[in-house]
Amino acid sequence: MPDLAGSKVAYLGFCGAIDSASVTKICQMINAAVNNAFDEIYLNLNSPGGYMGDGIYLYNHLRALPIPLTIHNTGSVSSIAATVFVAGTHRFCTSNAIFMIHPVTIGTNGGMAATALKTAMQAALHDEQRTEAILRDRTSIPDNIFSQRLTEDVYLSSTQALEFGLVHEIRDFTLPPGNQLFQI
């Protein structure tokens, strides 16, 4: 029997850094939507990025969802958040949204011995490979942009994001009447 009320969509918003606390909250809300038989999840995302491991975990969690996920860049999606963004089944951005990708950075917390620095460098190089592999798989970002990203911050406009397959459409977000938007 068809659902006469239409699809049951969970509208969520997240604005903040990608870290273990925020990823836990995002996953809790998304898991609740899945567990409560929602048909689709719609996530408005604005993030400066954050921790690589937490972002990769969130990307994999989102890709494994049994229902469609729409992600909408409603401001700025940067660093590891750009990798998280491409987990969406459907990906949109507003006309004034931006994306930023950049080289992986290493935190030193006041200094590192040579061995620790070498280990951190190896981890950063592996993280570069992981994020690039995901972005190459899910987008058509050209090689010259990936090369540029290894040495500097690269900003992509909404039209470039559309051209490179980062988004499927440029459009504003409007909450359909009768729905609620839950901020994470």
pLDDT at 109: 63
Q: Is the pLDDT of residue 82 over 70?
A: yes
57-73 per-position pLDDT tens digit:
999 999 999 999 999 99
pLDDT at 123: 73
Give the pLDDT band (50/70/90) at residue 127: confident
Enter the DSSP assignment of 36: T
pLDDT at 108: 62
User: CA-to-CA distance for 132 and 79, rounded, in angstroms?
Assistant: 11
Q: Is the pLDDT of residue 2 over 70?
A: no
pLDDT at 5: 65
Helix axes 52-63, 114-138, angle to 10 degrees: 30
High-pLDDT (> 90) share of the chain, %? 76
Enter the DSSP assignment of 165: T
pLDDT at 118: 77
pLDDT at 1: 35
Among candidate residues 28, 114, 3, the one with its CA nearest the CA of residue 12: 28
CATH 3.90.226.10 fits 9-183, yes or no: yes
**Domain boundaries defined on the chain:** 9-183
Q: Secondary structure of 89-114 in the HEC alphabet? A: CEEEECCCCEEEECCCCCCCCCCCCH
pLDDT at 90: 98
Enter the DSSP assignment of 50: B
pLDDT at 15: 97
Among 22-26, 44-48, 177-181, the least confident range: 177-181
User: CA-to-CA distance for 138 and 91, rounded, in angstroms?
Assistant: 11
Q: Is the pLDDT of residue 110 over 70?
A: no
Across the range 119-145, mean pLDDT stands at: 86
Amino acid of residue 36: N
What's the CA angle centered on 60, arms 14 and 32, to 5 degrees? 55
